Structure 1
Amino acid sequence: MAETEREAIREATLEGLDAAARKGNHGGRPAVITDDMIHTMLRRRAAGEAVDKIRKDLIIPTGKRKGHNPSLASIYRALAEHEETQRYPDAVEQARVEYAALHQGLSPH
Structure 2
Amino acid sequence: MLAGPLAGTYDAAGHGRLLFAFFAAMAETERQNIRESTLEGLDAAARKGKHGGQPPVITDDMLHTVLRRRAHGETVEQIQPDLIIPTGKRKGQNPSLSSIYRALAEHAKRQAYPEAVEQAHADFAALQSAGSIPDQMAGSVNA
Q: Which TM-score band applies after superposition, normalised by the shorter structure?
A: 0.7 to 0.9
Q: How far did residue 29 of structure 1 move?
A: 1.1
Instruction: Please tell me whether residue 14 in structure 1 is matched to residue 36 in structure 2.
Output: no
Q: Give the Cα separation in 2 of the matches to 1:89 and 1:23.
A: 27
Q: Give the Cα separation in 1 of the matches to 2:117 and 2:81.
A: 30
- Write out aligned runs for 1:23-102 (5 A): 23-93=48-118, 94=120
SS of corresponding position for 2:82: coil
Query: Judging changes above 3 Å, is the alpha-carbon distance between structure 1 residues 31 and 48 closer, same or farther for their aligned structure 2 residues?
Result: same
Partner deviation per Cα, 1:12-57 (whole Å, 9 max, x = no partner): 0000000001111111111010111111111100100111111111
Q: Is there any run of 5+ residues in structure 2 with no aligned partner, and where? A: 1-25, 129-135
**The one of 9, 27, 31 aligned to 1:2:** 27
The alignment's C-alpha RMSD in Å is: 2.5
Q: Give the Cα separation in 1 of the matches to 2:115 and 2:89.
A: 34
Partner deviation per Cα, 1:48-84 (whole Å, 9 max, x = no partner): 0111111111111100011111000000000000000
Residue correspondences, number = 104
State percent identity of aligned pairs.
71
Q: Is there any run of 5+ residues in structure 1 with no aligned partner, and where? A: none
Structure showing greater Rg = 2
Letter of the 1:76 counterpart: Y
SS of corresponding position for 1:56: helix
